[in-house]
Amino acid sequence: MFMLPAFTPVANASEAAAPAAAAPAAAEAAAPAAAAEAAPAAAAVVYPPAPKLTEADYPTIKGVNARVAVWLVAQLHLWFGAFVVAVPMFVFIIESIGMMTRDERYDNMAYEFIKVSITAYSLTAILGGLLSFSLVLFYPDLFKYLALIFKESMFAYALLFFAESAVLYIYYYGWHWLQGGNKKWVHLTFGLLLNAVGVLLMFLANAWTTFMMSPAAVDAAGVFNGNTWEAIHNFLWNPINIHRVVANVAYGGSIVGAYAAFKFLSARNNEERAHYDWVGYNANFIAIAALLPLPFAGYYLTAEMYAYSQQMGITLMGGVFAWIFIIQAVLIGALFLSANYYLWCGMGRSEGAYRYNPRIKYIAIVLVAAFLVWFTPHTLVLTNSELKSLGGPYHAYLGVFGIMPAKNTAVNFLLTFTFMSFMFYRRANKVATVSWATTGNAAQIALFTVGLINIVILGVYYGYFTNTVYKVAASIPQVLTTLIIIIVSTVIDTFMYKGAKDVAPLHWGRMSTRSQYALFLLAVSFTWLMGLMGYVRSGIRQHWHVSNIFRDASPDAYTPGLGYAANIVSIGTIIFMAMVIFVFWLSTISGKHVVAKGYWKEQA
Amino acid sequence: MTQKRRIPRLLQMVLIILGVYFSFILLFDVVLGQLIPKSLLTMYMLFVVAGVVMVFTFTEEGAQELVGPIKALVEDPSKKTVRNVVFVIVPLLAGYYTYSSMMPSFEAPMELRTIHPAPPTKFKAYGKSFNLATLENPYRKFQKEDPAKFSELVKAGGDVYIQNCQYCHGDKLDGKGPYASGLNPTPLNFQDVGTIAQLQESFLFWRIATGGPGLPAEAAPWISSMPVWQDFLTEDEIWKVILFLYDYTGRAPRSWAHE
Amino acid sequence: MINFLKVSFFSLLMVGGFWGFSNFGIPQIKPAPPPVEEKLDLGAMTMDQFIALGGKIYNGKGTCTLCHNAMGRAPMLDKIGTVAPERMKDARYKGTAKSVEEYLHESLVKPSAFVVSGFGKSGTNDTESPMPDVTGGGIGLNEAELAAVIAYLQDSGGAEVTVAIPAMEAPGAEAPAAAEAAPLKTPEEVIAKFTCGACHKIAGQEGALGPDLTKIGKTKNKEYLRQALLDPEAVIAKGFTGGMMPPTYGEQMKAKELEMLVNYLAGLK
């Protein structure tokens, strides 16, 4: 029994003058009250289903294509977001390395990285604001629907941004204040906190995105059941989270690498060259280290998409988007080849590395061969005469390379040999002095040989002679083999080269100009690749705002073709590069002091 | 070291690239008898060239040696004749290439076929609608529960296949039936690891029941002579013939459940 | 500066390379346009869409689920396809239907043609159904909507869908939205719109699921009536069970409509 006090007296007092205003107030107040105090079963708030829109529901601004605007802004936000989430991760690690080794160079480099990215934070936030503005402006009903489901997490997101900024500013501005002893530990803790908040922010935003792909906690009509956690923890949330964290680190590394490369090219003296060569080397190392597990995260994500919906999976891999993976293969090929090339060039820093030079060509052969297998499409583009000659669209030999097991095997080879490049680089200038060096070497060779044979057997036997369950499952032991090779080999190497003596002095800064362009290629390819994959991730929803629940009724509901997407991605990449150059430029002018003599009046 | 080398590095590089190019052609077109598509070969060569250039230039000396002859060609006064010849030939070659690639030909435009078109989520057949995400072969369960019954069903599916499908798809399920040569594209080869083994049974049911006309409009034009089998076969018969396809080829349908 | 230009040129060249490959190096597939949107134009509707429309009406405008729900006020219809033929053979059947489709149509417009045992109006010994004629009064489905509901019931009730999509203009799924703009003018209109008569005896309608309202003003004051409308569960009249009346009228009715209805009800003496 709950008569609302606010409305009873009004109703009593005004008999004739119908309290038109009081009734809605009462009605409004009554609903939540009823919800709160009624039996628990009926306690749930009733959510509306996903709206069915028409073209008229989408506001337009003359001369602005709503989709392209949202697309570009979202992509730019993502690029910057990825960069600023990633930088603190490796800054934290580099700072810790500096603390362990008490090598101040690391501390300086970490500070430089955070310094160049500091302006990128505000750009990320500005772009994020612009993105939500564009969404509210161009897709108000979609935003309203998402806000209904994610209202708590959106609010938390906004608040977390304060925390992020606060921690970041303390971390950055307090860098030289919190130095030495316990203060350094405090500083490092802030670094950890910064990362935690940054990653949490990204996970929240990922939840909204993945909800649109694999909606959860809603029924077929889009009625929300009130369980926010279920909506956040939807089917593709974790796969995307993993994929993005790993990719962000690699991406951040590549951008910082481009920064170092540019500083290297425009360096005026040898100290500067040496410093930025070293910074570039470390950035490339970060990029490669994160690039190694990235294909696996990608395969996991794709497998989960297939598991979520066969339709989504086939749309992705076999339908309209089939060719995108050929472009992706080219881009990833560019990434791996340029990263390797940079390592090979880096061997020129010391005379001691020459003895390894003849081996590089074998690595190159394996890399290119593995890459060709990876690149071979499932559906070949054939001219009619070729079609006739082959007797059908199936190629008896190349067809074998078209499917997943071949590509999994190829990618594991690619990774193992990229790691081998890195090993060669590491030991190029050193001679092991431990007594068991020969045994250690033999063990490593055996490890690589057995591992590679295992990868081939797994790929060929399980890939082609068993059913698909094992086919997919076989990629896991393949990955494990690669990881074991990498880890065990690193461990052996660490012990074997402890106290090793240098063959010749290492000349930081003795690096060709070509190699620096390899770093640029890395950054450009990575940016472009992210843009492309962002298109496909969003595109597989096809004409849905929220897959199979909330339909896109705007004139732009159609899925754009690859060429069109490539145009947008290219434009986005160029805008992003321009903005990044601006950010980097800002970081350089902040250190410049001009003494303007005779400008200020003399103080007595 | 470099004094001993007889072939200049630039020539070496060109020879290696040409060698790889012709080995591809030799390997596929002659030895294996299945030609390598031109579009693929172009991309292959692009990466081979990239790889070779990388190997030849990663050291400073290597790069110098490679660029040296080219620099000399442009700058060295004693190489005037060669320079003039090269400067005439290169534009001519470029012109010829542009001409031949732009010249209209009588060849029909290329066809793009996706081997596995994306299925709809739901489709209609036999007057009801099927949800592809949840659709399962009702007989698949007998494979474990009642192998005797299962082999009977497979046999029945085999009869359906021989009476209806083998004319095109062949009695060995290899896509080489008596009528196959009259069709372009050729009927699907079920023995190929890239076909039914990659798919769930519901996908096959969709393709069989709705045939060529049931294909989605994307990646058009679709050219499939597959009849709309729901007009000729019952639902049961289609499910049985699917059992047969997998049984005969020794493949298992794609599934996500681990056994 | 020269380095900057060089680097920019190199980067643009690379972007151009990727762009060129995506545009000219691979075949361009034009994705299919999105499938035609569910239209209320019946001519362009597929049977699936028509059935879905029926479902929407069944759960929404038709107010069917008020009673045909798990609370047991009216029989469930999930097996109607199989039980309908039996009912037509039943001795108590008073209708003329020959097929499931005709039976469904009949029970929608003449609910008393067959009353399932135990679901009749109290005291009529299952000869009279408490269900209103869905084409009249507060529900007011038109023929097209009726056909859609029948299609939905056949589809969900395990029968073959035999209804043909009528070749006429759209049912008014949009209409209520337009009507909401202006408040209703008379209490009768309010009663009709919110289908009070489906459950209550009021304004010439003979609903029997809820209390008789023809003389409600005699015993109840305005405060009670207003509360009963806004929060039906607050007080349950003797002899009736709770949870039947939708608790959403407070949100659906306009203030003016609510007051008008309360005044009207209070005046029934």
Cα C16–chain centre separation: 56
- Enumerate the residues of chain C whose CB falls inside 8 A of the CB of residue B218: 29-32
Mean pLDDT for the stretch of residues A430-453? 86
Position C174 confidence tier, pLDDT thresholds 50, 70, 90: very low
Q: Is B115 on the interface with C (CB under 8 A)?
A: no
Q: What confidence score (pLDDT) does residue C105 get?
A: 86
Task: Give the residue among A208, A137, A205, A196 at the shortest CA–CA distance from A167.
Answer: A196
Question: Considering chain C, what is the average pLDDT of its residues?
Answer: 76
Q: In Å, how far are A249, B98, C134 from B93, measured between CA atoms?
A: 46, 9, 82
Q: Is A442 on the interface with C (CB under 8 A)?
A: no
| Pick from C172-176, C192-196, C206-210: least confident | C172-176
∠ CA(A140), CA(A142), CA(A146), 5° rounding? 115
Where does CATH 1.10.760.10 sit in chain C?
Answer: 42-156, 187-266
Position A239 confidence tier, pLDDT thresholds 50, 70, 90: very high
- Retrieve residue A530's tokens: 């992210």
CB neighbour list of residue B251: distance below 8 Å, 6 or more residues apart: A467, B193, B196, B197
Most confident of B203-207, C206-210, C234-238: B203-207
Q: What confidence score (pLDDT) does residue C168 get?
A: 54
Measure in Å the smallest separation between the Cα of B193 and chain C Cα atoms: 24
Q: Is the pLDDT of residue A40 over 60?
A: no
Mean pLDDT for the stretch of residues A335-346? 90
Contact across the interface for C29 and A323, Cβ inside 8 Å: yes
Q: Is the pLDDT of residue C40 over 60?
A: no
Most confident of A101-110, A197-206, C86-95, C240-249: A197-206
Question: C244: number of CA atoms within 13 Å, CB side?
Answer: 20
Q: What confidence score (pLDDT) does residue B112 get?
A: 60
Interface list for C 34-63 with B (CB within 8 A)? 46-48
Q: What confidence score (pLDDT) does residue A506 get?
A: 81
Position C47 confidence tier, pLDDT thresholds 50, 70, 90: confident
**Chain A to chain B, count of Cβ pairs less than 8 Å apart?**
174
Q: What are phi and psi of C236, to 5 degrees?
A: -105, 125
Contact across the interface for C27 and B129, Cβ inside 8 Å: no
CA dist., res. A42 & res. B122, Å (int)? 34
Contact across the interface for B112 and C33, Cβ inside 8 Å: no
What angle do the packed helices C255-266 and A22-37 form, to 10 degrees? 90
Per the DSSP assignment, residues forming a β-bridge with A501 are A431
Question: With pLDDT > 90 as the criterion, what percentage of chain C qualifies?
Answer: 4
Contact across the interface for B218 and C48, Cβ inside 8 Å: no
Q: What confidence score (pLDDT) does residue B95 get?
A: 94
**Whether B246 contacts B150, CB under 8 Å:** no
Contact across the interface for C48 and B110, Cβ inside 8 Å: no
- Enumerate the residues of chain B whose CB falls inside 8 A of the CB of residue A371: 47
Measure in Å the smallest separation between the Cα of C167 and chain B Cα atoms: 20
Question: Residue A64 corresponds to which amino acid?
Answer: V
Measure in Å the smallest separation between the Cα of C19 and chain A Cα atoms: 6
**Nearest CB to A344 within list B37, B58, B258:** B58
| Pick from A64-73, A210-219, A318-327, B56-65: least confident | A318-327
Best residue in A414, A467, A472, A562 for a mutation probing chain B (most B CBs within 10 Å):
A467
Beta strand segments in chain C, E: 201-202, 205-206
**A322 to chain C: nearest residue by CA?**
C29
Give all chains having 3 or more CB-to-CB distances under 8 Å with chain B: A, C
Q: In Å, how far are A365, A479, A490 from A455, measured between CA atoms?
A: 18, 8, 19
Q: Is B112 on the interface with C (CB under 8 A)?
A: yes
Contact across the interface for A320 and B219, Cβ inside 8 Å: yes
Q: Is the pLDDT of residue A318 over 70?
A: no
Q: Is C33 on the interface with A (CB under 8 A)?
A: yes
Contact across the interface for B122 and C25, Cβ inside 8 Å: no
Mean pLDDT for the stretch of residues B70-79? 83
Measure in Å the smallest separation between the Cα of C255 and chain A Cα atoms: 5
Contact across the interface for A378 and B37, Cβ inside 8 Å: no
Most confident of A48-52, A91-95, A289-293, A596-600: A91-95
The pTM for the full model equals: 0.71
Interface list for C 92-131 with A (CB within 8 A)? none
Position A417 confidence tier, pLDDT thresholds 50, 70, 90: very high
Q: What confidence score (pLDDT) does residue A37 get?
A: 43
Q: What confidence score (pLDDT) does residue B109 get?
A: 64
CA dist., res. A275 & res. A281, Å (int)? 10
Mean pLDDT for the stretch of residues C5-11? 89
**Whether A385 contacts B35, CB under 8 Å:** no
Contact across the interface for B116 and A318, Cβ inside 8 Å: yes
Q: Is the pLDDT of residue B41 over 50?
A: yes
Position C122 confidence tier, pLDDT thresholds 50, 70, 90: low
- Enumerate the residues of chain C whose CB falls inside 8 A of the CB of residue B112: 27, 29
Question: Residue A271 corresponds to which amino acid?
Answer: E
Q: Is C219 on the interface with A (CB under 8 A)?
A: no
Mean pLDDT for the stretch of residues B145-152? 85
Question: Residue A140 corresponds to which amino acid?
Answer: P
Q: Beta strand C205-206 with A501-502: parallel, antiparallel or unpaired?
A: unpaired
Contact across the interface for B58 and A341, Cβ inside 8 Å: yes
Best residue in B54, B176, B196, B207 for a mutation probing chain A (most A CBs within 10 Å):
B54
Q: What confidence score (pLDDT) does residue A426 get?
A: 83
Contact across the interface for B120 and A340, Cβ inside 8 Å: no
> Which pLDDT tens digit goes with each residue over B209-259?
888 777 776 545 566 778 888 888 888 889 989 989 888 888 777 765 443
Helix or strand (DSSP H, E) at C84: helix C80-89
Position C243 confidence tier, pLDDT thresholds 50, 70, 90: low
Q: In Å, how far are A164, A532, B92 from A326, measured between CA atoms?
A: 38, 12, 33
Q: What are phi and psi of A224, to 5 degrees?
A: -80, 135
Measure in Å the smallest separation between the Cα of C108 and chain B Cα atoms: 25
Question: B241: number of CA atoms within 13 Å, CB side?
Answer: 24
Q: In Å, how far are A458, A462, A540 from A519, measured between CA atoms?
A: 34, 38, 32
Q: What confidence score (pLDDT) does residue A472 get?
A: 61
Give all chains having 3 or more CB-to-CB distances under 8 Å with chain A: B, C
Mean pLDDT for the stretch of residues A382-399? 74
Contact across the interface for B203 and A398, Cβ inside 8 Å: no
**Nearest CB to C31 within list A12, A331, A561:** A561
CB atoms within 10 A of CB C69: 13
**Nearest CB to A368 within list B48, B133, B218:** B48
**Nearest CB to B114 within list A322, A376, A385:** A322
**Nearest CB to B117 within list A318, A360, A402:** A318
Helix or strand (DSSP H, E) at A544: strand A544-546
**Nearest CB to A395 within list B34, B112, B203:** B34
Per the DSSP assignment, residues forming a β-bridge with B123 are B130
**Whether A393 contacts A314, CB under 8 Å:** no
**Whether A317 contacts A302, CB under 8 Å:** yes
Contact across the interface for C259 and A265, Cβ inside 8 Å: no
Q: Is B129 on the interface with C (CB under 8 A)?
A: yes
Looking at beta carbons, which pairs linking A494-497 to residues 24 or more positions away fall under 8 Å?
A: A495/A434, A495/A440, A496/A432, A496/A434, A496/A436, A496/A437, A496/A440, A496/A441, A497/A426, A497/A427, A497/A430, A497/A432
Question: With pLDDT > 70 as the criterion, what percentage of chain A qualifies?
Answer: 89
Q: What confidence score (pLDDT) does residue C167 get?
A: 62
Q: Is the pLDDT of residue A311 over 50?
A: yes
Contact across the interface for B43 and C27, Cβ inside 8 Å: no
Position A592 confidence tier, pLDDT thresholds 50, 70, 90: confident
Q: What confidence score (pLDDT) does residue B21 get?
A: 93
Position C171 confidence tier, pLDDT thresholds 50, 70, 90: very low
Helix (H, G, I), strand (E, B) or coil at A501: strand
Cα A566–chain centre separation: 19
Mean pLDDT for the stretch of residues A294-313? 82
**Nearest CB to B217 within list C32, C46, C161:** C32
Cα A467–chain centre separation: 33
Give all chains having 3 or more CB-to-CB distances under 8 Å with chain C: A, B
Q: Is the pLDDT of residue A15 over 50?
A: no
Class of domain C187-266: mainly alpha
Q: Is C2 on the interface with A (CB under 8 A)?
A: no
CA dist., res. A380 & res. A396, Å (int)? 12
Question: Residue C8 corresponds to which amino acid?
Answer: S
Q: What confidence score (pLDDT) does residue A8 get?
A: 33
Interface list for A 518-537 with C (CB within 8 A)? 520-521, 524-525, 528, 532
Mean pLDDT for the stretch of residues C124-129? 77
Contact across the interface for B217 and C29, Cβ inside 8 Å: no
Looking at beta carbons, which pairs linking C233-242 to residues 24 or more positions away fall under 8 Å?
A: C233/A34, C233/A38, C234/A1, C234/A2, C235/A1, C237/C210, C237/C211, C240/C209, C240/C210, C240/C211, C241/C71
Q: Is the pLDDT of residue A248 over 90?
A: yes
Position C180 confidence tier, pLDDT thresholds 50, 70, 90: very low
Q: Is C14 on the interface with A (CB under 8 A)?
A: yes
Q: What confidence score (pLDDT) does residue A46 get?
A: 75
Question: Considering chain A, what is the average pLDDT of its residues?
Answer: 83
Level-2 CATH architecture, domain C42-156: Orthogonal Bundle (1.10)
∠ CA(A277), CA(A290), CA(A109), 5° rounding? 35
Q: Is B102 on the interface with C (CB under 8 A)?
A: no
